[in-house]
């Protein structure tokens, strides 16, 4: 698997994922919105952690620096 999430993009995804996770677990949301927020948080955290995003891959987007790519 080629890496396609790097640098600021990776940090941003992790930060957004943590914030959404906290919102999903603590905010008074309906069950539907809570599930949506938690799923988006999980996707953001996962793509930031593994440094690969299937949507970036399909769109040909790569935010890794040359020395980060494997």
CA neighbours closer than 13 Å in the CB half-sphere of residue 7: 9
With contact defined as beta carbons under 8 Å apart, do 9 and 49 qualify? Answer: no
Q: pTM of the entire structure?
A: 0.85
- The pLDDT of residue 66 is 67
pLDDT tens-digit readout, 9-67 = 999 999 999 999 999 999 999 999 999 999 999 999 999 999 999 999 999 989 988 66
State the residue for tokens 């995003």. Answer: 53
pLDDT of residue 41: 98
> Where residue 70 falls among pLDDT bands split at 50, 70, 90?
low
């Amino acid at each position: 698997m080629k890496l396609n999430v790097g640098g600021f993009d990776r940090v941003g995804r992790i930060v957004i994922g943590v914030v959404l996770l906290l919102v999903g677990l603590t905010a008074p949301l309906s069950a539907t919105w809570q599930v949506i927020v938690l799923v988006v948080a999980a996707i953001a955290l996962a793509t930031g952690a593994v440094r690969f995003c299937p949507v970036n891959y399909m769109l040909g987007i790569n935010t890794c620096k040359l020395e980060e790519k494997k």
